[in-house]
Amino acid sequence: MQLLFKQRFFSWFDSYDIFDESGTPVYTVRGELAWGHQLRIYDAAGNELGLVKQRILSFMPRFELYVKDQYLGCISREFTLFRPRYNIDFNGWQIEGSWMEWDYSIVDSYGERIADISKELWNWTDTYSLEIYNPQNALCTLMLVLAIDAEKCSRDN
């Protein structure tokens, strides 16, 4: 399953549209006014599916993942000097990737690939291509990519 993750150009808050390989909208992400990033994920019909919420009072950036109101886990950035590393407390998943954070993979505890993520350069807004190997992992993969993008955006600002 392939998804195209595009940030909206004119938006007061973080807002994204996620399309499938045929260009059909699959998800919409809307940012909310809050301390830190708070991103709600909706399906094409407008039903809320998930939430990515930044925990403010933590030493390193930390994002909690929810489906409906159920807490699934979190992703936090580890303290490193050069290359960002992330600790994922969710499904035994790990991030492997490039030092620029433009191309990376999500793998499980056995080393099996869950998804490959690559940033498309030369676009006006952040645009990512997500290759997800099991469609059942699409929402969780999207939440991790949103959290990493939000952390990187906060760090760059």
The 10s digit of each residue's pLDDT in 72-84 is 999 987 766 666 6
Per-residue confidence band for 18, with pLDDT thresholds at 50, 70 and 90: very high
Sign of the Cα pseudo-torsion (119, 122, 126, 127, in order): negative
Per-residue confidence band for 40, with pLDDT thresholds at 50, 70 and 90: very high
Residues across the chain = 157
Helix count and strand count (H, E) for the chain: 1, 12
Please say whether the beta carbons of 26 and 3 come within 8 A.
yes
Span 42-76, pLDDT tens digits: 999 999 999 999 987 666 778 999 998 899 999 98
What is the extent of the structural domain holding 93? 2-156
User: In a 10 Å sphere around its CB, with 0-12 CB exposed, 13-18 middle and 19+ buried, how is residue 73 labelled?
Assistant: middle
As a whole number, the mean pLDDT across the chain is: 84
Please say whether the beta carbons of 115 and 134 come within 8 A.
no
CATH number for the domain that contains residue 110: 2.40.160.200
Which pLDDT score is estimated for 100? 62
Q: Total structural domains in the chain?
A: 1
